[in-house]
Structure 1
Amino acid sequence: MEDLNKNQIVLLTVLISFVTSIATGIMTVSLLQEAPVEITRNINRIVEKTIETVTPATILAPSQKEVTTVIVKEEDLVVDSINKNIKSIVRIEETDAVSGESSLYGMGLVVSKEGLIVADRKTIIANNFYKAVMSDETKLNLSPLGVDKQTNFILFKANGTIGEKPNEKNYAFVPVTLSDSDPKLGQTLISIGGDVTNAVTIGRTISLIQKDLTVGTTTTKYLANIETDLATKDLMSGSPLLNLSGDVVGMKISGDTSRSFIPVSLLKKDISTLSEPTKTETVKTQ
């Protein structure tokens, strides 16, 4: 040993440790093979627990994000879309001032928290009475706005519950969400109709009808109608057209073909026109 330098001593020590480790391993395996089953089982459990303890958990790098996949069924989106709008859909009744008989004017949509309701424009008779039947069966007096304007739709203003003075009771109006974009071909659409109770029909956009608009020397195209394949049984004047997000993308008017809807872009334009100041209109309440 005295003739060995430092490096040789280190290498010799490593070699002896290596040989000793191999010999120890061989002896351990031999002993385990000869040991009773219960002892080897306990040793294996200790080893497994030790490995679980020292194995580090998976750590995501700062740039990595854990992604969770959530599957949403179309039927769930349909239900959510309907529930989102159910409190905003009203039925408008018209009562003849002479006979006192009432009839369904059409469906309407609440478009503001102040009680503005948009509906298909039909003939408004000055002395007749109009009322809205809300989703909770509350009945509200209505006054038509913008009767003298040339639009596809008309606005009504709620003035109070039936049997009370106008504005005596504050009703919590829930306005719809008007979509910022028109539907695309093939897109799933939902409409709600029914004379007395809500009836749902589901379909798709099958055609987008465009027309020319000429202003001066400039001609541009605009979306005039949304053609769908919706079942027509329960569709009626004022039926809303919804997308799967629950936004209104169109509305039914009586002059259109049975499966055609006026797009939300034109509906918004009419609401803006009807909301502008106009001459004073007579408010009739019961």
Structure 2
Amino acid sequence: MEDLTKQQLVLVALLVSFVTSIATGIVTVSLMEQAPEPITQTINRVVERTIERVVQTPSGNQQASVVRETVVVNADDQIIKAVDQNRRSLVTVVLPSDSEDQSLSEKISGFIVSDNGKVIAQLNTETLVNEVISEEPQFEGIFYGNKQFSLKVEGYDSATGFALFSVRVPEGENVTFTPIKSGDATSLKLGQAVIALGGIDIVVVQNGIVNSLPYETATIKEESETGEMVEREVKTLSIVETGIQTRVSAGTLLINLSGEVVGIKTAGVLQVGSYRPFNLVKEAQAKIEAKITENERNTVVE
């Protein structure tokens, strides 16, 4: 080293620094790959978005200018906001019971779907199917803030088990209901961050990413423009596989970071981390409401 010139010493120092940085990068990547999923998820993901704003100048004769701003969005902030938007929509539905002690009654998870407090929940108890629709409320709903109101089943979809409830608010009491914001599960992308939000009596939150989006292919027959029957293949999203490895109760919602509900844990899905597309709920709600409208129309005619 004593025989090296100053220029050679500088070059050696640069070489050592370069090799050290490469070695540090390799070690860091190796440790991250070996780290458990919960540890890697605690690292905040930061996204930069460029927002354009049109600013009108004080003088109307001059042309408006465009101002570009860079906004830093933290993933933790997005998760907190999405949870806060939807936790007010969760409802614990208490099933009818002979016991006066409500803690002994069976409970299921539901959620608000309209401004007037309509609730959807999956009734997986077969003995209730023929008894749920009656003139008087038979269920109790525990809403956000521990507010409790009677629920009446307005309709039931036997194919999925989802029931639509109306809420009975006491006269003179002013209550504001916050419905969920439903999203399209087919818009999900592999690797996209999602949140599981649900629980009975206590809110449980888990976060993960979309691991798999398997589609089912079915062949349907439809009439063409010429009047002939032709076959066409239709692909339908069957399940949303996530990296959420904690068991959750049926009725738990799957939410994207925009606060939209894109999936739901149903009683028929036993795999941990698997959720049905929320389109299933929207279709069941549409069928129930169509049947209610038809029944009301028939009642008026009679």
Q: Does 1:273 align with 2:278?
A: no
Q: What do the CA deviations read for 1:175-215 (whole angstroms, capped 9, x no partner)?
A: 11111453211110001123321111000111112113333
The structural deviation recorded for 1:146 is 2.4
Structure number, greater radius of gyration: 1
If asked which structure has higher relative contact order (CA below 8 Å, sep 6+), I would say 1
3-state SS in 1 of match to 2:291:
coil
State the aligned residue count.
Answer: 213
Structure 2 residue aligned with 1:135: 144
CA contact (8 A) 1:95 1:101 kept: no
Aligned-partner Cα distance in 2 for 1:180–1:255: 21
1:43 matched residue in structure 2: none
Partners of 1:121 and 1:151 within 8 A in 2: no
**C-alpha separation in 2, matches of 1:148 and 1:244:** 30
SS of 2:68's equivalent in the other structure is coil
Within 2, Cα distance between the matches of 1:104 and 1:71? 45
2:237 partner SS: strand
Matched, 1:214 2:219: yes
- CA separation in 1, counterparts of 2:240 and 2:154? 26
Distance 1:86 1:213, change over 3 A: same
1:189 and 2:179 equivalent?
no
**Alignment partner, residue 162 of structure 2:** 153
1:232 maps to a residue whose letter is T
CA–CA distance in structure 1, aligned partners of residues 82 and 90 of structure 2: 13
Q: Who is 2:113 aligned against?
A: 111
Query: Shift of the alpha carbon at 1:218?
Result: 2.8
Residue 239 of structure 2: aligned partner: 225
Q: Residue 152 and residue 226 in structure 1: after superposition, are their counterparts in 2 closer, same or farther (change >3 A)?
A: farther
User: Tell me, what secondary structure is at the counterpart of 1:70?
Assistant: strand
How many angstroms does 1:268 deviate by? 1.2
Q: Secondary structure at the match of 1:69?
A: strand
Gaps of at least 5 residues in structure 1 are 1-60, 281-286
Counterpart CA distance in 2 for 1:148 and 1:84 is: 27
What amino acid does structure 2 have at the position aligned with 1:65?
A: V
Counterpart selection for 1:201 from 202, 206, 209:
206
Contact 1:179–1:264 at 8 Å: present in 2 too?
A: yes
- State the 1:154 CA deviation: 2.1
Q: 1:246-265 counterparts in 2 under 5 A?
A: 246-256=259-269, 257-265=271-279
Q: TM-score, normalised by structure 1?
A: 0.67
Spell out, residue by residue over 1:59-90, the C-alpha distance to the aligned partner (whole angstroms, 9 max, x if none). Answer: xx958633221111100000010111121111
SS in 1 for 2:156: coil
**Counterpart-to-counterpart distance in 2, 1:155 and 1:133:** 16
2:262 is aligned with what amino acid? V
> Which contiguous aligned blocks of 4+ residues in structure 1 show a shift greater than 6 angstroms?
none
Could you tell me which runs of 5 or more consecutive residues in structure 2 were left unpaired when the two chains were aligned: 1-61, 222-230, 297-302
Whole-Å separation in 2 of the counterparts to 1:111 and 1:273: 15
Quote the Cα distance in structure 2 between the aligned partners of 1:252 and 1:110. 16
Change (3 A) 1:209 1:146: farther
Q: Specify the alignment match of 1:144 in structure 2.
A: 153
| Cα root mean square deviation, aligned | 2.4
| Other structure's SS at 1:95 match | coil
Match runs of 1:14-25 below 5 Å: none
